[in-house]
Amino acid sequence: MLRHRKTCLPGLLVLACIAGCERAIIREADREVYSLIQRRQIDALGETHDARLGDETGLVTGGGDPYALVPHPTDAKLPPSFGPRPATAEPTDDAQVPNPMEGQPEAPAPEDGVGGAADADGAASQDGAGGGAPSDSPSAGVESTNGHLGAGSGMSGSGAPTAVQEAASTTSDATQTPPEPAAPPSADAPRPADAAPPSSDTPPPSGEEPAGQYLRFQPQSPLSLAETISFAMRHARQLQTAKEDLYLAALDLTLERHLWTPQLSSTLSAEFADYGQIRDFDRAMTTVAEVAVRQRLPMGGEVTARMLSTLMRDLGEHITSGETGQFIMDANIPLFRGGGTVAYESRYAAERELIYAVRTYERFRRQFVVQIASTYFDLQQAQASIINAEAAREALALSHQRAQSFQQHDRMAIFEVTRVESSFRAAESNVQDAVEGYESAKDQFKILLGMSVSQPFDVVPQGEDPLSEQIERLLPEVDEEEATAVALRYRLDLVTELDRIDDARRGVTIAKNGLLPDLNLTGSMAIATDPNQKNSMSYNSERTTWRGMVEMTIDDRKTERNAYRESLVNLRRGERNYEEAKENVRADVRRALRRIEQARANREIQNVSVAANVQRYQGAEELNKKGRATNQDLVDAQNELLDARNRLAAAFAQYRAAILEFRLATDTLRIDDDGRLQWDAAGAAESGNPAANGS
């Protein structure tokens, strides 16, 4: 065992050294790249932002063999749980379909003199399937035992306020939520023939739940907008990819810069020769060592210095048969084609590409935050739709119970009751559809955030997130002309398009240089050692050799001619691209301003509409109880109220998203490394002082 440990110890030491070298290489590269990115961010943006890639996490584990010819094979077998289900007996014609509303207590009977409740056009239509009732009406507080849960959504007995309750509550005192009506006793309880219809004030029998009790939507693990953006800035995959693109651009520049520094190289070779019988099986060993330094010249060409040492050993006689040394310096300088500033083109291109990458990364950060916020607002709107749909479902449940009570007292035809029930079932389906749409959108949002889809997450309801309300502070009081001027100055992508024109101009210069003939100046100087002395360092100045040559070549230039013409076309194309980009920026600003005005007007309109529809619904409900309004009137009022509430929630989301899009269109949105909005820096950007944007 001890011998085995001694055998493994060197191998472990070698592996440890290799791993340590790999980490050292990565750290050295990261240190150089991050320092370069930081300097270029200050030069291009006036501020710096975190662009570190972080540690390699190895998210994908349990990978297969990377050299397997058939990686991860699968078969055609299915899990046993995915097999066909056993056939079930179909119901016979005599089978009774259970009525979900059976056994529920009766609603209050109609008052004397009711005549319009049984009117044919008073029944609920299919258009009422999406109807909604105000949460502050008696029906909004009704709860039922057959509640429906959406996957991943929390439910509780307390309903969250809708997005527009605050606006609706200011219109009249009638919009305040009255106490929930107590449930009547069960309809199956015996009752004298001459007894009055059951009263809604009668308490339910012991052990029974009130009628219409639903489990309402309740957010699980809600994150505010600021917390959501902060999470995305740390975990989002798209942001990590953008960081990697910036890192790779800086990494390319480090190589380009390195190539313009002295390049050291060395070579050591050994040759064994056996000359066979012709030379009495003489054997010899020749060793050559070379050390060279090469330097590229900014105006074209390069200079190389080399030192060679040769050692010849006669293995048969065991003597050194020869040892020489040589120092050589070469220079190759183009005078026409390839000479001048065009020789430095690769360095110019790499330096400017990093500037473009810095702008692209910063532009992406701002776009990403706006995308996160806009999607967050859309989820708030979808959440409000669920709450509004639940209010409509509960109101229609009470309408259905009331219709059953009418029918039991021969005040309404049975087909009228079924039509009301159809609207109620459609409202239940609407809740399920709203929950499913919300959950699906939430899963996609989690993927965008870099969050596992199985992780609990919800958005904070509209009106309860402070950052969502503070976003309205980002709307400056500027006209279209000033906003366009700011956008043309600060849009990073537009500035890059302008710089691309200069790149195209350099391309024209390079192509024009390619039309020139080749005129190259070469020279060399070599110093050798005395061959009579077996010493590779005994250089003799008398054995110095100087050479110089001028070479001119004129050949076909058809390829260069086409390249020159193509460069001119690219220049014109770059100018057109810039002009088009300018017009797109103007269009973005105009569209953003129009969307702000549209959303602002819609929000005001829907505020008034919600208040009016709340009053309409309450009036229709009171008249329906007295028999002076049909069920169709009540359902229509519910539909209009639900639509108004959903439109108001959408107007809030669109207004806030439009403000952020305006900031993005003018590139005056400033965010820190955690995605927090920098209010003061944004104001400095409006004032036209780029230096004020520094962190």
pLDDT of 481-513, one tens digit each?
999 999 999 999 999 999 999 999 999 999 999
pLDDT given for residue 100 in this prediction: 41
First-to-last CA distance in the chain?
A: 62
Residue 676 exposure: Cα atoms within 13 Å on the Cβ side: 10
Mean pLDDT over the full length of the chain: 76
Tell whether the torsion through CA atoms of 603, 607, 609 and 614 is positive or negative.
positive
Calpha distance 661→682 (Å, rounded): 14
Residue with tokens 């105000």: 134
CA distances for 410 relative to 17, 200, 446, 624, angstroms:
93, 19, 54, 16
313 closest CA partner among 494, 534, 635, 519: 534
Please list, residue by residue across 565-577, b when 16 or more beta carbons sit within 10 angstroms of its beta carbon and e when fewer do. eebeebbeebbee
Calpha distance 104→198 (Å, rounded): 13
Please list, residue by residue across 314-332, b when 16 or more beta carbons sit within 10 angstroms of its beta carbon and e when fewer do. eeeeeeeeebbbbbbebbb
**Length of the chain counted residue by residue:** 695
Look at 644 and 207; give whichever has higher pLDDT. Answer: 644
Contact between 309 and 325 (Cβ < 8 Å): yes
Residue with tokens 């819609």: 602
For the record, the structure tokens of 56 come out as: 């390699």
Calpha distance 431→389 (Å, rounded): 5
Calpha distance 133→619 (Å, rounded): 12
Residue with tokens 């994908």: 60
Residue-wise pLDDT tens digits, 570-614 = 999 999 999 999 999 999 999 999 999 999 999 899 899 989 988
Side chain identity at 414, as an amino acid letter? I
Look at 367 and 207; give whichever has higher pLDDT. Answer: 367
DSSP, collapsed to helix, strand or coil, labels residue 551 as strand
Residues 6+ apart with CB under 8 A from 301: 331, 332, 333, 334, 339, 343, 520
DSSP, collapsed to helix, strand or coil, labels residue 136 as coil
pLDDT given for residue 68 in this prediction: 84
Q: Which of 102-111, 324-333, 377-386 has the lowest mean pLDDT?
A: 102-111
Contact between 358 and 40 (Cβ < 8 Å): yes
pLDDT given for residue 172 in this prediction: 35
The mean pLDDT of 16-44, rounded to a whole number, is 83
Calpha distance 134→388 (Å, rounded): 8
Rounded to the nearest 5 percent, the helix, strand and coil shares of the chain are: 55, 15, 35
Torsion from C-alpha of 460, 466, 469, 473, nearest 10 degrees: -150
- What is the number of H-type helices and E-type strands within the chain? 12, 10
For the record, the structure tokens of 680 come out as: 């003061």
Contact between 104 and 214 (Cβ < 8 Å): no
Contact between 427 and 396 (Cβ < 8 Å): yes
For the record, the structure tokens of 351 come out as: 């330096």
Torsion from C-alpha of 611, 615, 620, 626, nearest 10 degrees: 160
Look at 270 and 695; give whichever has higher pLDDT. Answer: 270
The mean pLDDT of 77-93, rounded to a whole number, is 73
Residue 695 exposure: Cα atoms within 13 Å on the Cβ side: 15
Residue-wise pLDDT tens digits, 149-202 = 333 444 443 333 333 333 333 333 333 333 333 333 333 333 333 333 333 333
Calpha distance 161→56 (Å, rounded): 44
Which secondary-structure segment (H or E) carries 462?
none
Tell whether the torsion through CA atoms of 637, 638, 643 and 646 is positive or negative.
positive
- The edge-to-edge listing of strands for the beta sheet with 302-314 is 263-274, 283-296, 302-314, 319-334, 518-529, 539-553
pLDDT given for residue 647 in this prediction: 87
Residue-wise pLDDT tens digits, 676-692 = 887 654 444 333 333 33
Contact between 471 and 659 (Cβ < 8 Å): yes
Q: Residue 271: is it exposed, middle or buried by C-beta count within 10 angstroms (0-12/13-18/19+)?
A: exposed
394 closest CA partner among 148, 90, 616: 148
Confidence of residue 693 (pLDDT cuts 50, 70, 90): very low
Question: Residue 48: how many CB atoms within 10 A of its CB?
Answer: 16
Contact between 104 and 610 (Cβ < 8 Å): no
For the record, the structure tokens of 266 come out as: 């060395």
Contact between 312 and 321 (Cβ < 8 Å): yes
669 closest CA partner among 441, 364, 423: 364
DSSP 543: E
Q: Which of 318-322, 402-406, 623-627 has the lowest mean pLDDT?
A: 318-322
Calpha distance 310→443 (Å, rounded): 71
DSSP 453: T
pLDDT given for residue 502 in this prediction: 94
Calpha distance 301→282 (Å, rounded): 45
pLDDT given for residue 179 in this prediction: 36
The mean pLDDT of 54-78, rounded to a whole number, is 74
pLDDT given for residue 350 in this prediction: 94
Q: Which of 77-81, 338-342, 629-633 has the lowest mean pLDDT?
A: 629-633
pLDDT given for residue 318 in this prediction: 67
Question: Residue 313: how many CB atoms within 10 A of its CB?
Answer: 18
Position 264 pLDDT exceeds 90: yes
Residues 6+ apart with CB under 8 A from 429: 129
Rounded CA Rg of the chain: 41
